Amino acid sequence: MVAVTSEPAPPTTVNAPTTTTAHPPGPNRNIGLIPTASMITNAAIAVVWLWVPLTLLLVGISSIPSVIGFALAVVVFVYLMRGVEWLERLRSEAVFGMGISVPPRNISRYEGFQRWLHQLWLDISSARFWKGTAHHLLRGIYDAAVTVVAFALMVFAFAGPAAAIAIRQSDDDAGLRFLSPPLAFVLAVIALVAAAAILVLAPALDAAIDRWLLSPSPTAALKFQVNALSEARKGAVSSAHTERHRIERDLHDSVQPRLVSLAMTIGLAQTKLDNDLPEAKKLIAEAHEDAKSALVELRNVVRGIAPTILADRGLDAALSSVVQRAENLGVPASLDIHLPRRLPDETESVAYFIVAEALTNVVKHAHATQAVVTVRYDEAAEQLHVSVFDNGRGGAAITTSEEATGLRGLDERVHAANGTFSVSSPPSGPTIVTAVLPCAS
C-alpha cells in the first residue's frame, strides 16, 4: 500500500508468500556429530520444556469456564508455538541443511485490534500451526526416549560386567548371579554398539520428522495458489472498477466544467462580434485560456490512464517526472532509485501509480515540507520495493468512501499484481506508504 492513507480492508484474507527454496539434503547431513549433538541437546531441553506447552494446554482446557483465563492461555500458547516453530526451522536448517519450504500463512487484512484478533484465529485454525506444534512435541518425546535408551545401554555396557563380577565374588546368591561375567562382557559389547548406533543413526528420523511436519503439504500449497489467484482476480476486477470511477470523477470535476465554460464563452463572444468587437476579442482570449487549461487537465487524466513516458523511457524517468511535478506544486521531494534493468510492464505500471497517487495525496492533504521516494530492486528475491515517505500530518487511511478511492485503488491494484501493500500513518505523522511487487516475468 502507499504511504499516505490506509483504510480497513474488506474482511477477506490474503495468503502470505511462501519460500520455495527447498533442496534435497546432502547424503551425510542426517548423521554425524552435529545431528547427534542436536538430538542430545533437544532431549535434555525436552525433559523440562515439554511440560510448558502441555501445561498451557491443560490450563487452557481447565479454564474454559473462566473466559479470561482460557483466552489468556490460548494467546500465550499460540505465540509460544509460533516462536517455537520459527526456532525449529532455524535449527533444522543449521543441522540438516534441507532448506524446507515454509508453508503459506494466511494474513488478516483488517486493521488494529480486529486484525490482531482475526490473525490469532487464522493462526490457530491453520494446519501449519498444528503441524508445527505436533512436530515440536513429537521431536521432543522421540529425542528424549532415544537418548534415554542410548545412555541406559551405555550405563549397562560399563557397569554390567563389573556388577556381574562383584556379585559372583560375593556370598549373596541373589542379584545378577544368573549373569556370568563372560556373558556380561558379551552383552556389554552389544549394548555399547547398540548405543553408538542409536546415537549416530537416530537423527535420520529427526530429519524425516522435520520434512514430514515442517514442509507444506501438496494440498495446502495448491489451496494457497488457488486462493492467491482468486484474490488477484478480485483485486483486478475491483481495481478496474475503482479506476473507471476515478476517471469518470476526474472528467466530471475538471475537464467537463472547463469545456462547458469554454462553450459558453465562445457563444457569448459570437453575440458580441457584430456590435462590441473589443468585448468579443476579450471573450475569445478567455476562451483560448480555457481551452489551454482544459487540455492540461485532459493530459493529466490521460497520464493517469497510460503514462507515455513510462513506456518510452522506463520507470526511472517516469518517477523523476512525478517527483518534479510534486516539487512544482510546492512539496520538496527527492527520488532514490536503483533499477539494474527494465522490469515487467505490469510491475512498472503499478510502481508508477503507487508513487503518483502517494505524492498526489501528499500535495493535497499532508501539508508536508518533505517527501522521499525510494525504489529498490531485490535481485535475489526478484521483488521491487517501493516506499513513499512524507513528514506531514498523519492519519491517512484506506476507506470505503466513494469520495476517497485513491489508496483503496492502490491496495487493489497491488494485490491484483500479487504484491503486498501497507500504510503507516500515525495521527501526528509521518506517513510511510510501502509496497512489495513481484518481478518474475
10 confidence band (pLDDT: 50, 70, 90): very low
Check pLDDT > 60 for residue 4: no
403 against 66, higher pLDDT: 66
Per-residue burial over 362-375, b if 16 or more Cβ lie within 10 Å, else e, is bbebbebeebbbbb
Q: What is the pLDDT of residue 221?
A: 60
Q: Give the domains, in start order, of the chain with CATH numbers.
A: 19-215 (no CATH), 228-438 (3.30.565.10)
Q: How far apart are CA 371 and CA 391, in angstroms?
A: 7
Per-residue pLDDT tens over the stretch 151-186: 999 998 888 888 777 777 765 555 455 667 788 888
Contact 200, 36 (CB under 8 A): yes
Q: Give the confidence band of 149 by pLDDT, cuts at 50, 70, 90.
A: very high
Instruction: Determine the pLDDT at residue 374.
Output: 92
What's the gap between Cα 387 and its chain centre? 16
Question: How far apart, in whole angstroms, are the C-alpha atoms of residue 301 and residue 423?
Answer: 25
More confident residue, 14 or 277: 277
pLDDT, tens digit, 9 for 90 and up, residues 253-281: 666 777 777 788 788 888 877 787 788 78
* pLDDT on residue 190: 92
Residue 19 predicted with pLDDT over 50: no
359-414, pLDDT tens digit by residue? 888 888 888 888 899 999 888 888 899 999 988 887 776 665 555 556 777 887 78
Please state, as a whole number, how many other Cβ atoms lie within 10 Å of the Cβ of residue 98: 20
Long-range contacts of 323-326 (CB under 8 A, 24+ apart): 323/355, 323/359, 323/371, 323/373, 325/359, 326/359, 326/362, 326/363, 326/371
Instruction: Find the helix packing angle between 127-169 and 67-96, rounded to 10°.
Output: 70
The confidence band for 349, taking pLDDT boundaries of 50, 70 and 90, is: confident
Mean pLDDT of the region 419-428:
84
Task: Tell me the pLDDT of the chain averaged across its residues.
Answer: 77
Is 331 in contact with 368 (CB distance < 8 Å)? yes
DSSP annotation of 9: P
SS3 content of the chain, % helix, strand, coil (to 5): 65, 10, 25
pTM: 0.50
